[in-house]
Each structure stands twice: as C-alpha cells, then as structure tokens.
Amino acid sequence: MTAARIMVVEDERIVALHLRQQLLKLGYDVPAPIASGEVALEQVEHMRPDLVLMDIHVEGKLDGIETAALMGGKHRKPVIYLTAYAETATLDRAKATEPYGYLLKPFSERELHATIEMALARCQADKLQRDGEAALRQAQKMEAIGQLAGGVAHDFNNLLGVIIGNLDRITERELPDVELNEMVDDALRAAVRGASLTRQLLAYSRRQALDPRVLSLGRVVSDLTALLRRTLGETIQIRTQLPANLWAARLDLNQFENAVLNLAVNARDAMPGGGTLSIDLHNVEIADGDGDLAAGNYVLVTVADTGTGMTKDVADRAFEPFFTTKPVDAGTGLGLSMVYGFVKQSDGHVLIETAPGRGTTVKLYFPAVKEAAADTTGAAPPVTLPRAEPGETVLIVEDDAALRKLTGALLASLGYAAIETADGPAALQKLEEAARVDLLLTDIVLPRGMSGPDLARAAQDRRPGLRTLYMSGYAKATAMHGATLDEGAQLLMKPFRKADLARRVRLLLDGDGPA
C-alpha cells in the first residue's frame, strides 16, 4: 500500500524539521517543509499531497487559513491546522474552510498520528461518496438518454412506417388516381410530422434556428384567441388580460405561438369536464436577480387552468422530453419540453405552479426590449408560388446526392436553371465556367475542407454581389464544424417544402435580403 503523502506548511524551521521526522517515522511520505502560503499554493499541484498540515501563522502575505481556503476551492486538498492559538475569532475563520482537523501546539506524536489517520479515513469516505454521486448522475443521464432515444425511435418508426408503406404501394403503379393522391398526402403529412418532431427535439436542447423579431405579445395572443377557441372547444372558457402598455419582446413569432398553443392544449386535457383557461400578460421588473432570472425588465406570460393539477413528482418531470401522463398515442411528451427549450433559448425563464385539484399555472418570463414591435398581421401568402425570371441560375452545393437532385428538380420546376455540385472546390470550378449565376444555395457543412461560409466568401470574391442562401438541418452546425456565418446571413432549415424554397430564393433575388 502506498504511503500517504503529507505536505507540511510551517515557518519555524526547527519545528518543521522535527514534525517531518515524526511523520517519516510514522510511515508517511513527506516532502521538504514549506514556509509560506504563496509557495504552498505554487507547489501543491506538483506535490499532489493527500493531506496538508498547515500552521495558521506562516510567512508571506497569506496566513494559513487564507492559504487553506484557496487550496480547498481550487485543488480540493484536505487540511489539518496546527496552531498555538485557540481564540474564538481564529477558530471561526478556520471553521469556515471546513478543515479535517485542528491540533493545538504542543501536541503529542500520538495525537498527531490519530488526527492524521482520522482525516485520511474521512478523505477516503468523502471520495467514495463523490464517486458514488457521480456514478448515480451518470446512470440518471444514461437513463434519460435511453428514454429520449426510445421515444424518438417509437415516433420516427411510426412516421417512417407510414411513408415507406405508402411509397411501396405507389410503386405498384396500378392504383386509381384518387387512392394514389390519398397515399401521397398521407406520406407527406407523416414527413411533415417527422420534421416537426425534429424541431421539437432541437427546441428542447436549445439548438433550433430561431427567427427573432420585436413583437407585441398582447397583439400576438389576441390574434391567437380565435384559433384557441376552435382548438379547445366550447367547454373551455378563455379569459385574457392584455394591458395596452405592455413592453415589447424579441422572440420567434412561430415558436411563441406554438408554445402558447402547447400550453393551451395541455390545459384542455387537464380539464376534461370543462373549465377556464386564463392567459395574462404583465410587465415585470426584477430588481434582484437570482441564478435563473437576472435583474431586469421582463414580459410575463401566465397561462393558467382550473384543471386537475399535478403532483410534485409529475411537476418535477414535466419538462423532460417524452415524459407524459397521457395514454399511449394521446401525446408525445414533447410539448412542455419544447416550451422549456424555446424559453431558455430566448434568454427567458419558465416556472410551474401546480397542486392536485388546484389547477396549473405556467409562467414564461421574456426579456423586454425598448424597440418598436413589428407588424405580425402581414398579408395573406400568395396562392401561386413565385417563379424565376428569364435566365436566372442557382448554383446548388449539397453533398447528399438525393437531396441535391431533389433541390435541383424543385428549382427547375420553378423555372430556374440549376447547377448542382457536391463540395466547395467543385462549386468554385462551376462558378468559373458558368456564364451566369444569380444565387449560391449551399449547405453549411461540406466535405473536402471547405465549409459553406468559406465557399460563399470565396465565391463573392470571384463574383461580387452574388447572393447566398444557406441550408442546414441543425442550427448549431456552424459552431460544431468551425464555420462562421456572416452577420445577416440567410438560412433555410431542412427539411423544407417547395413553397419555402420558392419564397426564400425569390426574396433574396429581388433584393429584399442581405447579399
């Protein structure tokens, strides 16, 4: 068994050498004594002691208690104090550092040995406890990952089953048009639900791509009320409180609407016999922040119901992905986790107040801004998709061959000339050869050492003013792969519909977005 290593910090040389001789005789490994706190802090990482014997009054600017406090915080080294002083003030300072022992000089060799052995035993017990807690946290983490993977697999396999089954039947080529159209619609709906599931997962992990703008949340909630009435049914009364002087907030409009809708649907399910859903908005000023909510001005969105409420155990797990108390096939368990992720990604905070039989109140805090709110009403989208002007050409850079082919076909059906490549160097070569390229449509993560942003900068050097539209299935792909998007860059999230592609391309080519 390896002898325990003990660091001695003592500025009286004769006392230090005598102490070292005692410790060596008792079988400990003892490097040369140290006389000051500053040197002790410099040497502790090199010596890596199991225990430190620290005189309280030592040389230098730091006394033994200050030195021990720094060791305990940074290096987690257990300390036994050695001192001839036992006044209350010194003891109180020493206790604050949580020492493993306190020996009053003069002490016997027997006292020294017993105190050290007790301290080493406690060190070992503390280490076993920390290791056990770490193992428990890891086990809980793996259990959560397993639940997440199981939930994703279940939902995606159902969706893929619909898509694959319908595509298998379509390949039979002997079906009437009506039945064929129904199968295509079913497959398309399943694919859209799969994309929505991915977005919810990214929202939970705070990695979705947001499109924040300054909003008047009162106006947004007012516009949502009609949809909520249709969704919740006649047995649910909706009450709103929307002050006229409400501060604005910078949020993603679609994600905020989805969050309110998710909370409203959860409230409806908690009120099977009917009840009242209240949506109240308030200005809130937090004077003294805490770990979850910094001091500042917030817009508070409160969604409350008069339903069955939740037990503490259920409320504690409410934001976990795929955790649900609903029957199988009655919910995915992603609604509240999506709300949580969206609020956190928006630099906000969310709280649940609930009890069995007393309903549930969810509070969403969003940082307020002073800017004027944007108009969220907007004009109705055109029925006809925007198409290409004569000769307009798009250079597509996508390493997935099937997606590259599909994107080219979608653009061609809109009247664009499409040039398809799989990586950055090939795209630059195509750019040199092509007589005309109006838009670069590129994935962010590409092979052969050149990212989408790198390609865009090189392409604009060759063709100043060339507009770029990025594609990605993951909002933080840039950071993961070392790519950096320029400020104001335009991003189209995968998977996208033909209408999304048509409008974003047209928007850029018409000069309504940054180059």
| Dihedrals phi, psi of 257, to nearest 5 degrees | -60, -40
Q: Which residue has the tokens 């016997």?
A: 108
Render 65-95 in DSSP notation, one character per residue: HHHHHHIIIII---EEEEES---HHHHHHHH
The per-residue pLDDT for 171 is 75
pLDDT-derived band at 509, boundaries 50, 70, 90: very high
The more confident residue out of 134 and 63 is 63
Q: Which of 274-288, 421-435, 478-492 has the lowest mean pLDDT?
A: 478-492
Give tens-digit pLDDT for 386-428.
999 999 999 999 998 888 998 999 999 999 999 999 999 999 9
Please compute the mean of the pLDDT values over residues 206-229 and round it to a whole number.
Answer: 81
Same fold, 6-107 and 393-509: yes
The per-residue pLDDT for 480 is 46
Say if residues 452 and 407 touch (Cβ distance below 8 Å): no
- Check whether 380 has a pLDDT greater than 80: no
The more confident residue out of 360 and 252 is 360
Q: Which of 18-22, 177-181, 346-350 has the lowest mean pLDDT?
A: 177-181
Closest listed residue to residue 208, CA positions, set 223, 216, 194, 197: 197
The tokens for 499 are 């209408």
- Check whether 165 has a pLDDT greater than 50: yes
Superfamily of domain 393-509: Response regulator (3.40.50.2300)
**Domain spanning 6-107, CATH class:** alpha beta
C-alpha separations of 362 from 146, 254, 273, 286, 378 in Å:
28, 19, 21, 18, 29
The per-residue pLDDT for 472 is 83
The per-residue pLDDT for 1 is 60
pLDDT-derived band at 149, boundaries 50, 70, 90: low
- Report the Cα 58 to chain-centroid distance in Å: 47
Domains of the chain, by residue range, sit at 6-107, 154-204, 212-369, 393-509
Please compute the mean of the pLDDT values over residues 362-377 and round it to a whole number.
Answer: 81
- Check whether 250 has a pLDDT greater than 50: yes
Give tens-digit pLDDT for 67-83.
888 886 555 788 999 88
CATH topology classification for 212-369: Heat Shock Protein 90 (3.30.565)
Please compute the mean of the pLDDT values over residues 273-279 and round it to a whole number.
Answer: 95
The contacts of residue 5 (CB under 8 Å, 6+ apart) are 28, 29, 30, 31, 47, 48, 49, 50, 51
End-to-end CA distance of the chain: 69
Q: How far apart are CA 395 and CA 406, in angstroms?
A: 14
Please compute the mean of the pLDDT values over residues 235-239 and round it to a whole number.
Answer: 93
| Neighbour tally for 25: CB within 10 Å | 10
Give tens-digit pLDDT for 291-330.
678 889 999 999 999 999 998 888 888 877 656 665 544 4
The per-residue pLDDT for 281 is 96
| DSSP at 416 | -
Q: pTM of the prediction?
A: 0.50
Q: How far apart are CA 453 and CA 16, in angstroms?
A: 63
Q: Which residue has the tokens 């409350």?
A: 304
